[in-house]
Chains A and B, each alone.
Chain A
């Protein structure tokens, strides 16, 4: 089963973290990524750029129309995502709880829809 883990946050929250603690935090995250790439359960881990770099895209007359946004300053927004492929839900929860920040910030765990279906 595949699961998506999502981490949210916002600039205000990240700015409040002392700069000198970042290297350690990043090292912890790298260690987490390495650990689960090593078990063959982490398919990908991606951090997103700041919301200032995000854009909204629509199709207008067959061509992309790109505008600024989304405007998310007040709310928390998606900061990074992780794609797992692991044995079951319990295992996905176990891995999510092993995220370096999971003791202070919750991690969202979403099952990814799959094409398999049992007989009816």
Chain B
């Protein structure tokens, strides 16, 4: 069956609204989630041939509620719960939604749902899987295909995640105050990881697997509509667009990586760059400034340089210094070392790297060795650079990176 894009897009848009409405009314996130998936599946099978109903959201809520009712009926404490559900269901909701219904309720439910999926009791892989299913409306099979794991494994991961949420005793309410800010950070991190997963993975053999970076951009665009005032949400979206813009140039047709310095900048997507630059400019003006906005600003400086030599390295260095204050990490220091090398010369960059070599998290990391190799090469120390490239290749667990590093080592040795 060829999936109908129109129907599929509509269903994925409605998925969090339907689930949100169900959980709001009945509680029991895990059971509601299953019921919503079944309603989505049924719609995906019927709507393309029978046409989209006048009130698609109402149709889905009705079908999912009936499914939930069936589920509850088969349960032991049947009568009590059944009565509770019937009593809790306004007849109007089963029939559809009035045209003047408050759209704010859907907005709040969808947000609450997203925050619930990024619950701190879950590991990042579980948060991602659950977000894709409950908020993104993807099936377990699609998520499994995207992550190259068996469907049974992904089903287990999702069911375990739902179980953890149930046992944590969390209610379907929006966290408040500092907890809300903390959870929003977790949500942004999940979307960021999702984007990276999709951006860095080359297309697998399964062409029906969803493109995770597209999905991350879709969900972040949606989140920005829900939280238009938040500068970091805008910053993250800008970062995604500005990174995605370079996708056509980052690999050769046979899958080899092309470093930023050697990319054909004519193939960068100017529309995405324009949108990303506008977003991050507006976000930085509004503030408060945060790590995603700064990373987006760095990406924007790269994207706006017509060729490598035109790159405004002093500005990139200043931005990395700011980023290191906002969100210090060895990876940021590593990137700052490259910027230092471009502004003040390779030996200044190497001095900064030497400080990282005593960091336990970094000393065996291939990225540190690869960066040092690059700076040594700039300094003209070809033999030492080749040795570091070789060692970095040995430590890399990514096949394309390993190939690239091996090529660099071979180029210097010849």
Interface residues of A (CB under 8 A from B): 1, 37-43, 85-87, 111-120
Contacts and interface: CB of A to CB of B under 8 A. Distances in A.
Contact of B157 (A40, A112, A120): A40
A120 B404 contact: yes
Given A37-B156, A43-B150, A116 B125 contact: no
A44 B344 CA distance: 51
Given A114-B399, A116-B398, A119-B250, A40 B154 contact: yes
Interface residues of B, number: 36
Contacts of A40: 126, 129, 153-158, 160
Classify the interface of chain A: helix, strand, loop or mixed.
loop
A116 B243 contact: no
Nearest to B202: A115
Interface string B239-270: 00001001000100000011110000000000
Contact of B257 (A1, A38, A43, A117): A117
Given A87-B123, A87-B125, A118 B157 contact: no
Given A38-B160, A87-B123, A111-B397, A116 B153 contact: no
A39 B157 contact: yes
Contact of A120 (B150, B160, B259): B259
Contacts of B124: 87
29 contacts: A1-B397, A40-B126, A40-B153, A40-B156, A40-B158, A41-B153, A43-B153, A111-B397, A113-B397, A114-B397, A114-B399, A115-B201, A115-B202, A115-B398, A115-B399, A115-B400, A116-B201, A117-B200, A117-B398, A117-B399, A117-B400, A117-B401, A118-B200, A118-B398, A118-B401, A119-B200, A119-B246, A119-B250, A120-B258
B320 to A, nearest CB: 15
B27 interface: no
B60 to A, nearest CB: 27
Contacts of A39: 156-157, 160
B263 to A, nearest CB: 9
A113 B399 contact: yes
B53 interface: no
Contacts of A42: 153
B404 A38 contact: no
B316 to A, nearest CB: 14
B354 interface: no
Shortest 8 CB-CB distances between A and B: which pairs? A40-B157, A120-B259, A116-B200, A40-B156, A117-B400, A111-B397, A117-B401, A117-B398
